[in-house]
Amino acid sequence: MMRSPPLPKVARLVAAFGGVLRSHGLPATPDQTIAFLRGVILLGPHGIRDIYHAAAATFGPEPEQRAVFDALFRTHFYGDAAEVASAMTESQGDQHADSDALSPERGTQSSTGEVASLAELLKERRFTDAHGGPLRDWGRQLLQRLPRRRSFRTRPSAHGSVLHMRRSLRQLVRNDGDIARPEMALRVARPRKILILIDVSGSMKALTQDYLRFCHTVVHHAGDVAVFTFATRLSVITPALRLRKPSAALDAASRAVDDWDGGTRIGPCLTKFLSVPRYAGFAAGAVVLVISDGIERGDPSEFVKAVRRLSRLAWRLVWATPLAADPNFEPKTRAMLQILPALDALVDGSCVQSLSRVLLRVADPVSLRTIQVTSRVREGRLFFEFAPK
């Protein structure tokens, strides 16, 4: 077996920088490392500044991580180890401050979602094995209750309204050009596609496993289903959930996602989803269920634009938020207030039972309205309450 020649010393030094970043908690995928190496080769650098600019453009550190990134670069290429310790101490102090602001015990929320974190936390999460007997019982009736659409396929039917051309031509040949009665066909009705987008950021950590078990049941009992997760990046977990055994499916899903329990970038993740043609094409005419608290940090314009476009593609767009479990729930973020007109329903997403009712009733707007959170104005103030069942 032939062995590939070893990399030159300079190439090994450049390629090792990605591992240095990962060892200190900064995101650096193998693809980014390869792109960094190719960028250095393409630039034909005349100095260390060219290598630095190639690294910054390839790995793209966040503004709050730039000090650590610069210190690690100097350590790796120059050997200034003292600066790394100082930068890491400052960065950890900022992260502790952010975690205090996001702690559930604080219980505070800003009207603009400023308490939501943008920090990317790359980690692997393990899920406990849990039996899903009630979910399996619910899944058996899911396929019959899902909304349907007329497909382009037809089947022979005496009560059909479409001419079955192939059968009619065969009859024409058998009867020497005479057709006693044309063969008719009926358009086949197929279940609509289901698209589920799950927020797996730190604020949704307590319910993530329940959501994955719910999606595993939907994938195995519905027709055409796609499941994505998002926090600071977008991930596809549909292949993992197709595994029959729930524990194996959850283990595969845990390995398919890198940003468990991290920050939240709903707008960029939805924009990335819509920018991929095969992803956006799946959303066309589908039942889209977004499971998220909707807390977006900073300017909500990208978030609102993406949700409005998703609403135009979807047959029905339902937003499930665990915050709606509180009867006094009222959206406070600017992003959620601006996307309300684009939603077909805003429902309670605090438990699997509520999500199950949503999918069973999504075919009937009147029935769905009995479990959604409806809005009205009282004393000039917009607030939300549960409609009577």
Provide the token pair at 341.
């007109």
What local confidence, expressed as pLDDT, does residue 221 receive?
84
- pLDDT digit string, tens, across residues 129-172: 555 555 666 666 676 677 777 666 766 776 666 777 777 777 77
Q: What is the mean pLDDT of residues 287-293?
A: 94
- pLDDT digit string, tens, across residues 320-344: 999 888 888 888 788 888 999 999 8
- pLDDT digit string, tens, across residues 303-324: 999 999 999 999 999 999 998 8
What is the separation of C-alpha 202 from the centre of its chain, rounded to a whole number of angstroms? Answer: 14
- pLDDT digit string, tens, across residues 336-379: 889 999 998 899 898 888 888 888 888 776 666 555 554 443 33
Domains in the chain: ranges and CATH? 9-102 (no CATH), 133-143+192-386 (3.40.50.410), 150-191 (no CATH)
The more confidently predicted of residues 195 and 191 is 195
The more confidently predicted of residues 8 and 236 is 236
Three-state SS annotation for 145-202:
HCCEEEEEEEEECCCCCEECHHHHHHHHHHCCCCCCCCCEEEEEEEECCEEEEEECCH
Lowest-confidence segment of 28-42, 161-175, 270-284 by average pLDDT: 161-175
Is the pLDDT score of 285 beyond 70?
A: yes
What local confidence, expressed as pLDDT, does residue 126 receive?
59
What local confidence, expressed as pLDDT, does residue 236 receive?
94
With bands split at pLDDT 50, 70 and 90, how would you rate the model's confidence at 99? very low
What local confidence, expressed as pLDDT, does residue 168 receive?
74
Q: What is the mean pLDDT of residues 264-278?
A: 92
